[in-house]
Amino acid sequence: MSVLYESNWDLWQQWINNITTRVPYMVLPGNHEAACAEFDGPGNILTAYLVDDRANATAAQSNLTYYSCPPSQRNYTAYQHRFHMAGDETGGVGNFWYSFDYGLVHFISFDGETDYAKSPEWPFERDLKTGETHPTPSETFVTDSGPFGGVVEGGDWNDNTAYLQYRWLEADLKAVDRAKTPWVIAMSHRPMYSSAPAGYQTNMRDAFEALLLRYGVDAYLSGHIHWYERLYPLGRNGTIDVASVADGGRTYYTNPGRSMTHIINGMAGNIESHSTLAPGRGVLNITAVLDQEHYGFSKLTVHNATTLTWSYVRGDGGVIGDELTLVKKNPGCKA
């Protein structure tokens, strides 16, 4: 197993080259793009290799810092240089937050890793001790990243609304022309809800959920957890919008301002295999469909201004593992 993600970048892009040279695709930042590594391996082999310069060795304890990775593999550097998304063209920031229209859909891609309060990857400012202007190496983390937009002048990094990403997101949502793109779909790497709850989900909700609901976002797509999970339409605090569920859970009616559909599309496959529920943990009532066994991909079909279909296609022969129809009762309504 390679200890540096850069070689994995090369291998992966070689594998998908036959597709990506012919089919356009869009990317967004995740946790594995932040640095050359994320956690130490068994026996602290990354510390031995990156810090102690000893290959095929172990170390007594993990000692990874921001400076352990080569400069070219810190702070999303590889991610920034391998792609070109529409951040600059849409008032956002590079490959981190941007939007685009495709047919009847306005897609919004934002950064769930940095540039909001309590983000999972954070800038040096959060490492500072009282009286410091710059953290010592031992006070940093290997995945320290950003800010790529930061906060407004005089703003507080604990205030989500002070971040330039938040302000861009609100401006972008305000500018949506529902007559042109009646569907609005937001996407980021990390889910806001799941049957595998985690602290980062609370922080994501605190930062973005109210804003997305306020402007009538129809669906939120994420990954991070290595399985497929479709949730019921949810309002604030994970309230299930029961009245919007029909056809035995296979159809949801959009309810702008009240709820939106959440889908975790994390089953493409990787070296870490599938995520699974912890022993003794069951599926939560917010989850409509959970597949912890199969790999696959998803397909979005927009039929018209009032109906779209989301299909989860399993990798074992193209079997449809799940299918959801979203229906708009009042097309053109923001909230």
* pLDDT score, position 251: 98
The answer to whether the beta carbons of residues 48 and 54 sit under 8 Å apart is yes
Side-chain half-sphere exposure of 301, counting CA atoms within 13 A: 9
25: left (phi over 0), alpha (psi -120 to 50) or beta: beta
CA distance 56 to 62: 15
On the question of pLDDT at 149 being above 60, the answer is yes
Residue among 34, 35, 60, 36 at smallest CA distance from 47: 60
Mean pLDDT within 64-89: 93
CA distance 109 to 159: 21
- How would residue 1 be classed by pLDDT, with cut points 50, 70 and 90? very low
pLDDT, one tens digit per residue, over 185-238 is 999 999 999 999 999 999 999 999 999 999 999 999 999 999 999 999 999 999
On the question of pLDDT at 127 being above 60, the answer is yes
Give residue 320's identity as a one-letter amino acid code.
I
* pLDDT score, position 2: 43
* pLDDT score, position 335: 61
Give residue 294's identity as a one-letter amino acid code.
H
Neighbours of 288 (CB within 10 A): 22
pLDDT, one tens digit per residue, over 133-144 is 899 999 999 999
217: left (phi over 0), alpha (psi -120 to 50) or beta: beta
Mean pLDDT within 49-63: 93
pLDDT, one tens digit per residue, over 88-107 is 999 999 999 999 999 999 99
* pLDDT score, position 9: 85
